Protein backbone atom coordinates (compact mmCIF):
# COMPACT_ATOMS: atom_id res chain seq x y z
CA UNK A 1 0.00 0.00 0.00
CA UNK A 2 2.84 2.39 0.89
CA UNK A 3 6.23 2.23 -0.73
CA UNK A 4 9.10 4.40 0.46
CA UNK A 5 12.07 4.56 -1.87
CA UNK A 6 15.49 5.86 -0.89
CA UNK A 7 14.07 8.58 1.32
CA UNK A 8 16.30 11.29 2.77
CA UNK A 9 15.47 14.04 5.20
CA UNK A 10 18.34 16.23 6.30
CA UNK A 11 18.35 18.95 8.96
CA UNK A 12 21.30 21.12 7.99
CA UNK A 13 24.16 18.65 7.70
CA UNK A 14 22.40 16.05 9.86
CA UNK A 15 20.84 13.09 8.02
CA UNK A 16 17.85 12.13 10.23
CA UNK A 17 16.50 9.86 7.47
CA UNK A 18 19.36 8.67 5.34
CA UNK A 19 18.19 6.58 2.41
CA UNK A 20 15.34 4.60 3.98
CA UNK A 21 13.41 2.16 1.77
CA UNK A 22 10.48 0.09 2.97
CA UNK A 23 7.02 -1.19 2.11
CA UNK A 24 3.86 -1.30 4.19
CA UNK A 25 1.67 -4.15 3.02
CA UNK A 26 -2.05 -3.54 2.64
CA UNK A 27 -3.95 -5.09 5.55
CA UNK A 28 -0.88 -5.35 7.77
CA UNK A 29 -0.16 -3.94 11.19
CA UNK A 30 3.44 -3.00 10.60
CA UNK A 31 5.63 -2.08 13.54
CA UNK A 32 8.42 0.47 13.31
CA UNK A 33 11.04 0.17 16.03
CA UNK A 34 14.60 1.30 16.63
CA UNK A 35 16.75 3.14 19.12
CA UNK A 36 16.07 6.78 19.98
CA UNK A 37 17.20 9.10 17.22
CA UNK A 38 16.90 6.39 14.55
CA UNK A 39 14.71 8.65 12.41
CA UNK A 40 11.34 6.96 12.94
CA UNK A 41 9.34 10.09 13.76
CA UNK A 42 11.00 12.03 10.96
CA UNK A 43 10.13 9.23 8.52
CA UNK A 44 6.50 9.30 9.73
CA UNK A 45 6.36 13.06 9.34
CA UNK A 46 7.67 12.89 5.78
CA UNK A 47 5.23 10.13 4.77
CA UNK A 48 2.31 12.00 6.39
CA UNK A 49 3.16 15.27 4.65
CA UNK A 50 4.17 17.13 7.81
CA UNK A 51 7.76 17.53 6.57
CA UNK A 52 8.94 17.64 2.95
CA UNK A 53 11.65 15.10 2.10
CA UNK A 54 15.11 16.19 1.04
CA UNK A 55 14.93 13.51 -1.67
CA UNK A 56 13.32 10.17 -2.39
CA UNK A 57 9.84 8.97 -3.21
CA UNK A 58 6.69 7.82 -1.41
CA UNK A 59 3.87 6.09 -3.26
CA UNK A 60 0.44 4.97 -2.07
CA UNK A 61 -1.14 2.16 -4.10
CA UNK A 62 1.14 3.19 -6.96
CA UNK A 63 0.33 6.93 -6.85
CA UNK A 64 3.17 9.31 -6.12
CA UNK A 65 2.28 11.09 -2.86
CA UNK A 66 5.73 12.55 -2.14
CA UNK A 67 5.44 15.96 -0.49
CA UNK A 68 1.62 16.03 -0.52
CA UNK A 69 0.04 18.06 2.27
CA UNK A 70 -1.58 16.33 5.27
CA UNK A 71 -4.89 17.68 3.97
CA UNK A 72 -4.51 16.01 0.56
CA UNK A 73 -3.37 12.79 2.20
CA UNK A 74 -6.32 12.90 4.57
CA UNK A 75 -8.62 12.81 1.55
CA UNK A 76 -6.74 9.77 0.28
CA UNK A 77 -7.37 8.03 3.61
CA UNK A 78 -3.84 8.40 4.98
CA UNK A 79 -3.94 9.64 8.56
CA UNK A 80 -1.41 10.24 11.27
CA UNK A 81 -2.64 10.47 14.83
CA UNK A 82 -1.76 13.60 16.74
CA UNK A 83 -2.07 14.47 20.37
CA UNK A 84 -5.30 16.24 21.19
CA UNK A 85 -4.66 19.92 20.51
CA UNK A 86 -4.68 22.17 23.55
CA UNK A 87 -7.67 24.19 22.37
CA UNK A 88 -9.83 21.05 22.20
CA UNK A 89 -9.29 20.10 25.83
CA UNK A 90 -12.29 22.10 27.05
CA UNK A 91 -14.59 20.32 24.58
CA UNK A 92 -16.22 17.00 25.34
CA UNK A 93 -14.99 13.72 23.95
CA UNK A 94 -17.94 13.54 21.60
CA UNK A 95 -17.40 17.12 20.40
CA UNK A 96 -13.75 16.34 19.76
CA UNK A 97 -14.76 13.46 17.52
CA UNK A 98 -17.22 15.67 15.69
CA UNK A 99 -14.48 18.24 14.96
CA UNK A 100 -12.76 15.98 12.46
CA UNK A 101 -12.64 17.80 9.12
CA UNK A 102 -14.55 16.28 6.28
CA UNK A 103 -18.05 16.50 5.07
CA UNK A 104 -19.56 19.35 7.11
CA UNK A 105 -21.05 21.87 4.75
CA UNK A 106 -21.57 24.64 7.29
CA UNK A 107 -18.83 26.85 5.92
CA UNK A 108 -20.36 28.68 3.01
CA UNK A 109 -22.71 31.64 3.15
CA UNK A 110 -25.09 29.81 0.86
CA UNK A 111 -25.38 27.05 3.40
CA UNK A 112 -25.84 29.49 6.25
CA UNK A 113 -28.88 30.98 4.54
CA UNK A 114 -30.40 28.05 2.76
CA UNK A 115 -28.93 24.92 4.23
CA UNK A 116 -29.99 25.01 7.85
CA UNK A 117 -31.93 21.80 7.68
CA UNK A 118 -29.13 20.03 5.90
CA UNK A 119 -26.61 21.23 8.47
CA UNK A 120 -28.85 19.99 11.28
CA UNK A 121 -29.13 16.61 9.54
CA UNK A 122 -25.37 16.43 9.12
CA UNK A 123 -24.84 17.36 12.75
CA UNK A 124 -27.13 14.53 13.80
CA UNK A 125 -25.30 12.12 11.50
CA UNK A 126 -21.95 13.22 12.98
CA UNK A 127 -23.28 12.74 16.51
CA UNK A 128 -24.50 9.26 15.63
CA UNK A 129 -21.14 8.44 14.07
CA UNK A 130 -19.29 9.75 17.15
CA UNK A 131 -21.49 7.62 19.42
CA UNK A 132 -20.84 4.57 17.26
CA UNK A 133 -17.08 5.20 17.49
CA UNK A 134 -17.26 5.52 21.30
CA UNK A 135 -19.19 2.29 21.53
CA UNK A 136 -16.70 0.50 19.26
CA UNK A 137 -13.88 1.66 21.53
CA UNK A 138 -15.88 0.62 24.62
CA UNK A 139 -15.65 4.12 26.10
CA UNK A 140 -19.20 5.40 25.60
CA UNK A 141 -19.24 6.35 29.31
CA UNK A 142 -16.70 9.09 28.47
CA UNK A 143 -18.91 10.75 25.88
CA UNK A 144 -19.63 13.96 27.80
CA UNK A 145 -16.31 14.14 29.63
CA UNK A 146 -14.06 17.12 28.83
CA UNK A 147 -11.11 15.89 26.76
CA UNK A 148 -8.75 17.75 29.10
CA UNK A 149 -9.85 15.51 31.99
CA UNK A 150 -8.95 12.25 30.25
CA UNK A 151 -6.01 10.13 31.33
CA UNK A 152 -3.08 9.73 28.93
CA UNK A 153 -4.37 6.37 27.75
CA UNK A 154 -7.92 7.61 27.26
CA UNK A 155 -6.54 10.45 25.13
CA UNK A 156 -4.73 7.89 22.99
CA UNK A 157 -8.02 6.06 22.50
CA UNK A 158 -9.66 9.32 21.49
CA UNK A 159 -6.89 9.93 18.94
CA UNK A 160 -7.60 6.50 17.49
CA UNK A 161 -11.32 7.28 17.54
CA UNK A 162 -10.78 10.37 15.44
CA UNK A 163 -9.39 8.25 12.62
CA UNK A 164 -12.67 6.33 12.65
CA UNK A 165 -14.73 9.43 11.92
CA UNK A 166 -13.46 9.37 8.34
CA UNK A 167 -12.81 6.54 5.94
CA UNK A 168 -9.20 5.91 6.81
CA UNK A 169 -7.27 3.35 4.79
CA UNK A 170 -3.92 3.61 6.50
CA UNK A 171 -3.22 5.05 9.91
CA UNK A 172 0.19 6.00 11.31
CA UNK A 173 0.32 5.69 15.09
CA UNK A 174 3.11 7.36 16.99
CA UNK A 175 3.73 5.66 20.34
CA UNK A 176 0.11 5.02 21.06
CA UNK A 177 1.14 2.83 24.00
CA UNK A 178 3.53 5.27 25.67
CA UNK A 179 2.70 5.90 29.31
CA UNK A 180 -0.54 3.93 29.14
CA UNK A 181 -1.54 1.48 31.88
CA UNK A 182 -1.90 -2.23 31.05
CA UNK A 183 -5.70 -2.31 31.05
CA UNK A 184 -6.04 0.61 28.65
CA UNK A 185 -3.16 -0.70 26.57
CA UNK A 186 -5.17 -3.88 26.05
CA UNK A 187 -8.24 -1.84 25.07
CA UNK A 188 -6.15 0.14 22.58
CA UNK A 189 -4.55 -3.04 21.24
CA UNK A 190 -7.95 -4.73 20.83
CA UNK A 191 -9.31 -1.67 19.02
CA UNK A 192 -6.36 -1.69 16.61
CA UNK A 193 -6.80 -5.40 15.87
CA UNK A 194 -10.56 -5.04 15.35
CA UNK A 195 -10.13 -2.00 13.08
CA UNK A 196 -7.62 -4.04 11.10
CA UNK A 197 -9.72 -7.21 10.85
CA UNK A 198 -13.25 -5.81 10.71
CA UNK A 199 -12.72 -2.53 8.86
CA UNK A 200 -9.67 -3.29 6.76
CA UNK A 201 -7.45 -0.59 8.23
CA UNK A 202 -3.75 -0.87 7.54
CA UNK A 203 -1.57 0.36 10.40
CA UNK A 204 2.01 1.44 10.76
CA UNK A 205 3.02 2.07 14.34
CA UNK A 206 6.08 3.40 16.11
CA UNK A 207 6.30 1.68 19.46
CA UNK A 208 8.85 1.02 22.16
CA UNK A 209 6.92 -1.63 24.11
CA UNK A 210 8.21 -4.85 22.54
CA UNK A 211 5.49 -6.97 24.14
CA UNK A 212 2.81 -4.75 22.63
CA UNK A 213 4.60 -4.82 19.25
CA UNK A 214 4.94 -8.60 19.45
CA UNK A 215 1.23 -9.04 20.12
CA UNK A 216 0.06 -6.79 17.28
CA UNK A 217 2.65 -6.37 14.57
CA UNK A 218 3.76 -8.45 11.65
CA UNK A 219 6.10 -7.49 10.14
CA UNK A 220 8.34 -5.39 12.34
CA UNK A 221 10.74 -2.97 10.63
CA UNK A 222 13.85 -1.86 12.50
CA UNK A 223 15.44 1.51 11.79
CA UNK A 224 18.83 2.71 12.92
CA UNK A 225 20.77 5.80 11.90
CA UNK A 226 18.18 6.87 9.35
CA UNK A 227 18.13 3.56 7.50
CA UNK A 228 16.16 0.34 7.59
CA UNK A 229 18.30 -2.21 9.34
CA UNK A 230 16.06 -5.27 9.31
CA UNK A 231 12.53 -6.53 8.77
CA UNK A 232 10.81 -9.67 9.98
CA UNK A 233 8.61 -11.19 12.64
CA UNK A 234 9.20 -10.06 16.21
CA UNK A 235 11.12 -13.28 16.92
CA UNK A 236 13.34 -12.81 13.88
CA UNK A 237 14.03 -9.21 14.88
CA UNK A 238 14.87 -10.14 18.45
CA UNK A 239 17.35 -12.76 17.25
CA UNK A 240 19.01 -10.48 14.69
CA UNK A 241 22.56 -9.66 15.75
CA UNK A 242 22.68 -6.34 13.89
CA UNK A 243 19.51 -5.27 15.66
CA UNK A 244 20.84 -6.25 19.08
CA UNK A 245 24.02 -4.31 18.35
CA UNK A 246 22.09 -1.21 17.25
CA UNK A 247 20.12 -1.21 20.50
CA UNK A 248 23.16 -1.87 22.67
CA UNK A 249 25.09 0.88 20.92
CA UNK A 250 22.81 3.62 22.20
User: Which chain residues interact with ligand ADP by CB under 6 A?
Assistant: 11, 14, 16, 34, 36-42
CB of 250 to ligand ADP, least distance (A): 10
CB of 34 to ligand ADP, least distance (A): 6
- Could you say which DSSP state residue 103 is in? S
The answer to whether 75 and 101 are in contact (CB under 8 A) is: no
C-beta contacts of 96-105 below 8 A and 24+ residues apart: 96/147, 96/158, 96/162, 97/129, 97/130, 97/133, 97/134, 97/158, 97/161, 97/162, 97/165, 98/123, 98/126, 98/127, 98/130, 98/165, 100/162, 100/165, 100/166, 101/71, 101/74, 102/165, 102/166
**Cβ proximity to ligand ADP, 130 vs 246, nearer residue:** 246
Residues 6 or more apart whose CB falls under 8 angstroms from that of 91 comprise 99, 146, 147
**Cβ proximity to ligand ADP, 43 vs 139, nearer residue:** 43
**Cβ proximity to ligand ADP, 219 vs 226, nearer residue:** 226
Name the strand (E) or helix (H) holding 2.
Answer: strand 2-11
**Cβ proximity to ligand ADP, 14 vs 113, nearer residue:** 14
CB of 208 to ligand ADP, least distance (A): 9
Closest CA to 49 of 64, 35, 36, 62: 64
CB of 200 to ligand ADP, least distance (A): 27
**Cβ proximity to ligand ADP, 16 vs 134, nearer residue:** 16
CB of 156 to ligand ADP, least distance (A): 17
CB of 124 to ligand ADP, least distance (A): 41
**Cβ proximity to ligand ADP, 33 vs 93, nearer residue:** 33
CB of 206 to ligand ADP, least distance (A): 7
d(CA 1, CA 145): 37
d(CA 50, CA 163): 17
Distances (CA, A) of 222 to 66, 162, 182: 22, 28, 24
**Cβ proximity to ligand ADP, 40 vs 80, nearer residue:** 40
Transcribe 201-222 into DSSP letters.
-EEEEE---HHHHHHH-BSEEE
Amino acid sequence: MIKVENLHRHFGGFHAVDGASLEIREGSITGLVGPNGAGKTTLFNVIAGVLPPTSGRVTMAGDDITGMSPHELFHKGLLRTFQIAHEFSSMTVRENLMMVPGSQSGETLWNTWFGRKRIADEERALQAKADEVLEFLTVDHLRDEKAGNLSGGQKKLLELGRTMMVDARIVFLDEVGAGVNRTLLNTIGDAIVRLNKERGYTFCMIEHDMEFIGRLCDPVIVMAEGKVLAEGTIDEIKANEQVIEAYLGT
